[in-house]
Amino acid sequence: MFPLTVENKHVAQLLLSTGTCPRCIFRFCGVDFHAPYKLPYKELLNELQKFLETEKDELISEVPNPPPKKIRLQELEDGIDGMDNLSQNGEGKILIIEDGSIASKNSNLNVCNVCLGILQDFCEKEFIKKVCQKVEASGFEFTNLVLSISFPPQLSVREHAAWLLVKQEMGKQSLSLERNDTVQLKEAYKWITHPLFSEELGVPIDGKSLFEVSVVFAHPETVEDCHFLRAICPDCFKPAKNKQSVFTRMAVMKALNKIKEEDFRKQFPCPPNSPKAVCSVVEIECAHGAVFVAGRYNKYSRNLPQTPWIIDGERKLDSSVEELISDHLLTVFKAESFNFSSSGREDVDVRTLGNGRPFAIELVNPHRVHFTSQEIKELQQKINNSSNKIQVRDLQLVTREAIGHMKEGEEEKTKTYSALIWTNKAIQRKDLGFLDDIKDLKIDQKTPLRVLHRRPLAVRTRIIHSMETHYVDEHHFRLYLKTQAGTYIKEFVHGDFGRTKPNICSLMDVTADILELDVESVDVDWPPALDD
């Protein structure tokens, strides 16, 4: 059943006569159900002409445009090489413009003066197949996808002009047309193309999918359509660092909402002029949202930083905990980059023992995302076999939200340490006993001198929950501490020139220093422990 009614006939005839395509005519007549938009373009045009009951010799036929200059036919690269013509009868061939962009050409169609060919050439099956070929050649794993379409901002100006034209004509019949009474271009495009993409790729379209296919359209011929708006609404077009042009879609829409109808009509034709060429596709890109891997690591070396140690552009040590773990993940997940985070950090000369320190790694734009639990176990084993400096346990895929559990523990949880301490004065066992009796000792720590270059100057109150001493000899003893997370242990021992008070030196009335330090446990119950 044809979607237009007798009441639409005058508007439909007007739009068609001024160069508007059938699907855009449906939009401005308020056709808000999907089926009519999905019909093949030629069928739509024939049905529309029949509906308008135009005599054969008066039909507004769409004749071919001369090809734009500097256009040459060639096979598309990047996954499109070697393809035959888009259809058996040779229509709808893909063109490569000199700047490398993609344009679709159907020899029987004029270009719509509103959508610039978007709803003519770029929602037909032949074009969808070309995009899908590029998606399949990208090498990404995906079980669903979100389709992101970017239209040239001047389309909004042309839509506004067409709306004003229709609104004026309907006003002559004492009818009104609000802006939201029309179907938006992007909405109609989705109605047509989403089922086609889903069918071609065999996966559903899902707005929450982490896999995004973005298609960017451009139309150089009409790029100046929206420039007049800047003179009338200059406050809407302010330069932004991350934008190449001030004429963004949002800026144009903001200006269109502000400009008076009479001012718009003075500056821009209603109806808009018919272009010579259709839009071109300047970009088809695939990207996958980040995935997150978490676990716990043990560090057994006293000559290994947690993250790359670089000072003034010079690397001090060959490797780091971060790299020994992440290099393997980058390879297996086929990711572009990563971000490493952990529940606190240890110094280069400090070991992390016990159950290890929780960590999480964000893998950016991974091409492979589906792993069985057995494959993750094998990946963990591969990491552990690659170095004797670290070991990883409880490796698992987690959500972005779950990482918050690790960060919550950085300041709120407790940590247990073991320190080998030297004293300048000779000591006996009895000199240590009083330390064992101290509970929940509050200390004030001014930002240590050794980290002042990367942490703000402040005084932080921390709690030493308990201490236990083991006598070694007259100048050495081992101290086991359970402290609030975020406590600087080395400074608690030697005092950091009085910046930490009280400290072991002041408590024992000696000069003391720390020779070895180990993290025995990080009491954060995350990530969940796994059975080996």
Contact 324, 361 (CB under 8 A): no
Is residue 102 one of the residues assigned to a domain? no
Q: Which pLDDT does position 310 carry in this prediction?
A: 85
- Total domains in the chain come to 3
- Residues 397, 348 share a domain: yes
Is residue 463 one of the residues assigned to a domain? yes
Is residue 214 one of the residues assigned to a domain? yes
Enclosing domain of residue 196: 6-54+110-225+268-287
The CATH number of whichever domain residue 438 belongs to comes to: 3.30.70.3190
The CATH number of whichever domain residue 389 belongs to comes to: 3.30.70.2510
- Residues 204, 169 share a domain: yes
Q: What is the pLDDT of residues 140-181, one digit of tens each?
A: 999 999 999 999 999 999 999 999 999 999 998 888 899 899
pTM of the predicted model as reported, rounded to 2 decimal places: 0.81
- Residues 450, 396 share a domain: no
Is residue 154 one of the residues assigned to a domain? yes
- Residues 355, 406 share a domain: yes
- Residues 150, 280 share a domain: yes
Tell me the three state secondary structure of residue 357: strand
Look at residues 411, 437, 457 and tell me which one is the last residue of a structural domain.
411
Distance CA 532, CA 522 (A): 20
Is residue 77 one of the residues assigned to a domain? no
The residue with tokens 């064992």 is: 436
Distance CA 252, CA 230 (A): 9
- Residues 283, 159 share a domain: yes
Distance CA 326, CA 340 (A): 8
- Residues 170, 128 share a domain: yes
Q: DSSP assignment, residue 145? A: B
Is residue 306 one of the residues assigned to a domain? yes
- Residues 127, 275 share a domain: yes
Look at residues 411, 438, 467 and tell me which one is the last residue of a structural domain.
411
Look at residues 378, 411, 444 and tell me which one is the last residue of a structural domain.
411
- Residues 443, 379 share a domain: no
Is residue 71 one of the residues assigned to a domain? no
Residue-level pLDDT, tens digit, the chain, 532 residues: 789 998 899 999 999 999 999 999 999 999 999 999 999 999 999 999 999 975 344 444 444 444 443 333 333 333 333 333 333 233 333 333 334 444 444 434 699 999 999 999 899 899 999 999 999 999 999 999 999 999 999 999 999 999 999 999 999 888 889 989 999 999 999 999 999 999 999 999 999 999 999 999 999 999 999 999 999 999 999 887 777 788 999 999 999 999 999 999 999 999 999 999 999 999 999 999 999 999 999 999 999 999 998 888 888 899 999 999 999 999 999 999 999 999 989 999 999 999 999 999 999 999 999 999 999 999 999 999 999 999 999 999 999 999 888 877 666 789 999 999 999 999 999 999 999 999 999 999 999 999 998 899 999 999 999 999 999 999 999 999 999 988 999 999 999 999 999 999 999 999 999 999 999 999 988 999 998 6
Distance CA 456, CA 18 (A): 66
- Residues 484, 462 share a domain: yes
- Residues 275, 402 share a domain: no
Strands 310-311 and 512-522: unpaired
The residues carrying an active-site annotation are: 347
- Residues 197, 325 share a domain: no
